[in-house]
Structure 1
Amino acid sequence: MPQTSNVSTEHEPGKPIARRASAFRAILRYARPHAWTFAAITLCSLLGISADLLQPYLVKIAIDDHLAAGRSDAGFLIGISLVYFALAVVSLAFTYIQNNLLQYAGQSVVARIRKDLFNHISRLSMSFFDRFHIGSLVTNVSSDTETISQFFTQVLLSIIRDGMMLVLIIYFMFKLDPMLAWCAVLILPVVGVIAISFRSYLRRTYQQARSRLSRLIAFTAENLAGMFLIQAFRQEKEQIRRFDEQNRDYLAANIRQVRSNVLFNRTFDILGNTALALIVWLGGKAVLDDTIQFGVLYAFISYIRQFFQPINQITSQWNTLQSTTVSMERIWRILSTEPDVRDPRPENTAALQPEDVKGQIDFEHVSFGYIPNVPVITHLNLHIAPGQMLGVVGTTGAGKSTLISLLNRFYDVTEGCIRVDDRDIRSIPQEILHRIVGLIQQEPFLFSGSIIDNVRLFRQDISRERVIEACRFVGAHTMIERLSAGYDTLLSERGSGLSAGERQLISFARIVVFAPKILILDEATANLDSHTEQLVQQALQSVSAGRTTIVIAHRLSTVMHADRIIAMKDGQIVEQGTHETLMALNGYYADLYRHAKEASSTG
């Protein structure tokens, strides 16, 4: 079987800027269907900001044109106040509409990305899952998509709203007093220098935190899956120690990320307060010298306070933008990964319907290795007649499970070909091939849900009556009826509420419902006690009738009555024949049989 490598989901060295740019463009394409919504968001932002920025200008008019002039017209002040209040209401209304539109568009985009990502992962070949940790993929689907959601709902809002606010504030400041405006604008290059100097450091701290989070999730998932083994061997303290070590690494990376964020943001606070103090000093001198009016200084101070607000907002989103870039890159890496196993082109597709399959299987000069130049199977030839039951035996690593992985086309052969009814399986669409070939594994996988949905795999077009008939056929009906809710009994994850034999019987019923013409049993009775094995053997006899059946067996008693048995060693078939023929040879198979009997008697 293949070994899972510790491949990180971060990119390999290459052209990072070009790679990030392509990832960013690819993800932003998801926003195109919402172009009009984003246009409406921009318009609402413009109207809301304009209403906000007109308020200090109204106060300036009230001070300079009325109060400072010594006028006592209350009607004018009431009018100014009503206009001020109306502008506040307009700003509130358009901000509310803008935020609702943005959340709708942003969440819709992310929901589409999440759906496409899961759909794409489900279509990738098994070799992909050999290279990537499950924990990292869970992070991609959940955490990375949530980060992209923050880009559309926070960063994009900041770019649109705060960008326009900054432009309009500069316009109003120049309209009030060009000299003071130039003093404020000269600070912008300083802001740019600080942002650029912090950029690479912020990205590195975020990447490190994300990488350590992925490792922590992968470690947690692995330990939860293997909790039985951990407790059986009393490894709790060691695993807690290892978890604590990874948790502390993640904590350190998070603290480093937060520290850099705080330093980045507080630098702008100091810069803003310094600029405000400078403007108050220069403006105050100008008022005392009667070169500008007090109302102009008041409005300018209001604008300078607001001037640094959008800058601070934009820069505070810098880390989110960095994290979004990393997340987009990680997700795009998954989305741009092509499956190693692909459906044939229409012109190369074999005309084969599942109901017409007889079940003949031919392995012709097949070679394969999970790692290049490290073969697991070499030049194997095997021919299985329709309706024949074939037993496959051999020690661990002999290539038994690889054989059935190739027949299921989880991987493609390196050399040679595999044929079903004289059609190369590479010319058969995978959907049809997997309807032809049914697989029952050593550990049958059951989903969280009812028993009836686990048998029909949530396909509502398969009737309840058909499911019950299948369960009767394999001998599972009595067991299911004893459960509290019968066929509607809800199972926990992986069907942990059922015994190994009960889970296996449900997987047999699943085969009957989907009726494949070729049936593969991969160590299906390896973990069962002798009584349960007899029940499963009876179900096997019922299910395999009329089907080409391949039985990979750990217990040789499972295949003793097979039409033919092949014994595999180092990826080769070293012996084949019936049980009696192979025992008479007194060779490799006979040795396996004697060792199995000795182990059974010792047990």
Structure 2
Amino acid sequence: MTNLNKRQSAETASSPSQERKPSTSSTLKLLLGYAKPHRTAFLGVSVCALLGISAELLQPLIVQIAIDDHLAKGEGGSSLLRLGLIYLGIAVISFLFTYLQNNLLQYAGQSIIARIRKDLFRHISKMSMSFFDRTHSGSLVTNVSNDTETISQFFTQVLLSLVRDGMMLVLIIVLMFSLDAQLAMFSMLILPVIFIVAALFRSYLRSTYQQARSRLSRLIAFTAENLSGMGLIQSFRQEEEQFGRFTEQNRNYWNANLRQIRSNVLFNRTFDILGNAALVLMVWLGGRAVLGQSMEVGVLYAFVSYIRQFFQPINQITMQWNTFQSTTVAVERIQRVLETEPDVREPGEKEQIRLPSSSLRGEVNFNNVTFGYRADRPVLKNLNLHIQPGEMIGVVGTTGAGKSTLISLLNRFYDVDAGTVEIDGVDIRKVTQNDLHAAVGLIQQDPYLFAGSIIDNVRLFREDITREQVIEACRFVGAHPMILRLPNGYDTHLSERGSGLSAGERQLISFARIVVFRPKILILDEATANLDSETEKLVQQALSSVAQGRTTIVIAHRLSTIMHADRILVMQDGELTEQGTHAQLLARGGHYAELYRHARQSGREQLPG
């Protein structure tokens, strides 16, 4: 079954874990859980914020004293100089505590985000293949990058605003009532209006952000898909078609982004208007009181300063509402991934059975195995297959016959619907993933190479595997001469997917991996399908070397790859219809013989007569 068919089949079945929306309480619990180890830092932020705000709010009182107690009485000189120095000292203190507060908060916030990213990546790497069949890679990239950055803004902006601006609001109200209780009561009338406006905007802001994030995920997924398939796009002259599709995706994201920005601007400017209206009202009422000599000028100055500062923290808190909404959506998206359980689960400690590599024989059994990517469409039907230790098995069949599915089940990318898959008589569902993948090595049709050196790609970045072991493995599979021809030999840096190397060279490196990691069971999934005849001979020699002492399963389109196998399996419609040696199957005159005659007539392979 092809990967495309797997994806299409899997995507038709929805995932309950992905549909269920996490509750607000569980979202908050997740954030608090990550914040708990940094509670000392957050306490320090609160203390610094309190001291910094107190110093800042003392400044209008000093000006009020200067106006009412000195300037209004015609006094000046040393008294005003002392007040000026006190004002400057308080400003410096406010700056120092604000600086310390921001540094503490950034340290705690960035540490939390780094841990979330690490946990998210670890969780994604443990998911079953069915998860990746139904989840777009662009969505996962957005989770790891953009969503975590949004959560970072919560700790470095929203939380700071709630602590600092909340404290400032309370202290300003206290100071306003101490200056003039009547004016302060008038100021409080605006608070219900603020809460009503915030409530009206809440759901709208949330929906605009969700739409923007969803369209960004689609744009990223589309871009990643096109970059991966750029060779195919250019060879079929699809640049303009794909550009048109990209333009549509980009336009959708642009429209959603503009809608989100417009809603944010409207929300913020509404509070600006409310704040300015309240300030005008206070100046008018306070001015009348000054003219009626029931209030001193300095008190009016201090009150106007506080009323301006009063709306500043309110405005900041309400502005952070947008970021809070963004954070809620981002946390829900990440939580949805973290709460998704792998379909393939590790066995419990009590039922675990070890597969020690030192004593592993490599016997493989499929006992009455039934499996389908959808419950109503079985791919394998009551399959029984027994492979002896050290046996080389070839598997052939038409596309969709179930060859790759057989391998996916042995690697436990999926669990069987019925029956068992066993290694050395042990059900692989009772074996840990680490033990299983140490026992089974897989070489795919297009081996994946990472951005890094040849050394790193052979040992897969494991520092406990020495350079000498890598070189020895490459000599063993015949890759050493090829590597020495590269500009920097084993230290040659490869780009993503190993561009610059031929398909055969990439396959030789994947064979060297097998030698280094020493699995007892080796699987080749169409490993020579895209190779020319000369390169195939080189890879066949490497296969012969690597297969020594290992149970080897070779899935092949080219019959020349498996003609010398100990046993050849022929699969049709998920069932094992024929098995035997090359000569036995030809003598039987069945489906294998038909495939052989077709291959000879087409001239695609050099096959003996």
TM-score > 0.5 by shorter chain: yes
Structure 2 counterparts to residues 259-270 of structure 1, below 5 A: 259-270=262-273
1:192 alignment partner in structure 2: 195
For the residues of structure 2 that align with 1:3 and 1:456, how far apart are their CA atoms?
30
1:505 corresponds, among 505, 508, 512, to: 508
Indicate whether 1:182 and 2:189 are aligned: no
1:118 alignment partner in structure 2: 121
**CA shift in 2, pair 1:410/1:482, >3 Å:** same
SS of residue paired to 1:433: helix
Q: In the TM superposition, what is the alpha-carbon distance from 1:596 to its structure 2 partner?
A: 2.2
**CA shift in 2, pair 1:602/1:456, >3 Å:** closer
1:528 corresponds, among 521, 525, 531, to: 531
1:38 corresponds, among 38, 42, 50, to: 42
**C-alpha contact (below 8 Å) 2:219/2:250 kept by paired residues:** yes
1:542 alignment partner in structure 2: 545
Q: In the TM superposition, what is the alpha-carbon distance from 1:378 to its structure 2 partner?
A: 1.2
Aligned partner of 1:163: which letter?
G
Q: In the TM superposition, what is the alpha-carbon distance from 1:169 to its structure 2 partner?
A: 0.7
Q: In the TM superposition, what is the alpha-carbon distance from 1:171 to its structure 2 partner?
A: 0.7
1:234 alignment partner in structure 2: 237
Indicate whether 1:49 and 2:48 are aligned: no
1:102 alignment partner in structure 2: 105
Q: In the TM superposition, what is the alpha-carbon distance from 1:252 to its structure 2 partner?
A: 0.3
**CA shift in 2, pair 1:94/1:8, >3 Å:** farther
For the residues of structure 2 that align with 1:571 and 1:586, how far apart are their CA atoms?
21
SS of residue paired to 2:579: strand
For the residues of structure 2 that align with 1:8 and 1:495, how far apart are their CA atoms?
35
Aligned partner of 2:313: which letter?
P
For the residues of structure 2 that align with 1:372 and 1:282, how far apart are their CA atoms?
75
For the residues of structure 1 that align with 2:506 and 2:515, how far apart are their CA atoms?
15
For the residues of structure 2 that align with 1:225 and 1:184, how far apart are their CA atoms?
60
SS of residue paired to 1:573: strand
**C-alpha contact (below 8 Å) 1:11/1:330 kept by paired residues:** no
2:375 alignment partner in structure 1: 372
2:217 alignment partner in structure 1: 214
For the residues of structure 2 that align with 1:354 and 1:601, how far apart are their CA atoms?
40
**C-alpha contact (below 8 Å) 2:459/2:465 kept by paired residues:** yes
1:303 alignment partner in structure 2: 306
1:129 alignment partner in structure 2: 132
For the residues of structure 1 that align with 2:349 and 2:48, how far apart are their CA atoms?
50
Alignment size in residue pairs: 600
2:79 alignment partner in structure 1: 76
Aligned partner of 1:371: which letter?
R
**C-alpha contact (below 8 Å) 1:368/1:377 kept by paired residues:** yes
Indicate whether 1:362 and 2:365 are aligned: yes
**C-alpha contact (below 8 Å) 2:17/2:339 kept by paired residues:** no
1:147 corresponds, among 142, 146, 150, to: 150
Q: In the TM superposition, what is the alpha-carbon distance from 1:593 to its structure 2 partner?
A: 1.6
Q: In the TM superposition, what is the alpha-carbon distance from 1:23 to its structure 2 partner?
A: 2.0
1:478 corresponds, among 475, 481, 506, to: 481
Structure 2 counterparts to residues 412-423 of structure 1, below 5 A: 412-423=415-426
Deviation sequence 1:271-297 (CA, Å, 0-9, x none) = 111111000101001111111111111
Indicate whether 1:492 and 2:508 are aligned: no
For the residues of structure 2 that align with 1:159 and 1:571, how far apart are their CA atoms?
61
Gaps of 5+ in 1: none
Indicate whether 1:160 and 2:163 are aligned: yes
SS of residue paired to 2:350: helix
Aligned partner of 2:61: which letter?
Y
Q: In the TM superposition, what is the alpha-carbon distance from 1:3 to its structure 2 partner?
A: 1.1
Deviation sequence 1:51-78 (CA, Å, 0-9, x none) = 011100111111112222x142422211
- RMSD of aligned C-alpha atoms? 1.6
For the residues of structure 1 that align with 2:346 and 2:495, how far apart are their CA atoms?
35
2:293 corresponds, among 271, 290, 293, to: 290
**C-alpha contact (below 8 Å) 1:9/1:136 kept by paired residues:** no
For the residues of structure 2 that align with 1:302 and 1:393, how far apart are their CA atoms?
83
Q: In the TM superposition, what is the alpha-carbon distance from 1:384 to its structure 2 partner?
A: 0.3
Q: In the TM superposition, what is the alpha-carbon distance from 1:599 to its structure 2 partner?
A: 2.9
Aligned partner of 2:212: which letter?
A
For the residues of structure 2 that align with 1:413 and 1:11, how far apart are their CA atoms?
21
1:325 alignment partner in structure 2: 328
Q: In the TM superposition, what is the alpha-carbon distance from 1:27 to its structure 2 partner?
A: 2.5
What's the TM-score, normalizing by structure 2?
0.96
For the residues of structure 2 that align with 1:361 and 1:455, how far apart are their CA atoms?
27
Aligned partner of 1:269: which letter?
D
Q: In the TM superposition, what is the alpha-carbon distance from 1:8 to its structure 2 partner?
A: 10
**C-alpha contact (below 8 Å) 1:399/1:570 kept by paired residues:** yes
For the residues of structure 1 that align with 2:599 and 2:261, how far apart are their CA atoms?
60
2:254 corresponds, among 238, 251, 254, to: 251
Deviation sequence 1:362-406 (CA, Å, 0-9, x none) = 000011111222211111000000100000001111110010110
Deviation sequence 1:434-457 (CA, Å, 0-9, x none) = 011000000001111000111111
For the residues of structure 2 that align with 1:223 and 1:31, how far apart are their CA atoms?
39
SS of residue paired to 1:195: helix
2:71 corresponds, among 63, 67, 76, to: 67
**C-alpha contact (below 8 Å) 1:390/1:550 kept by paired residues:** yes
**C-alpha contact (below 8 Å) 1:448/1:494 kept by paired residues:** yes
For the residues of structure 1 that align with 2:312 and 2:404, how far apart are their CA atoms?
63
2:344 alignment partner in structure 1: 341
**C-alpha contact (below 8 Å) 1:198/1:264 kept by paired residues:** yes
Indicate whether 1:398 and 2:401 are aligned: yes
Q: In the TM superposition, what is the alpha-carbon distance from 1:464 to its structure 2 partner?
A: 1.2
Deviation sequence 1:290-345 (CA, Å, 0-9, x none) = 11111111101000111111111111111111110000000011111111112211
**C-alpha contact (below 8 Å) 1:440/1:520 kept by paired residues:** yes
Gaps of 5+ in 2: none
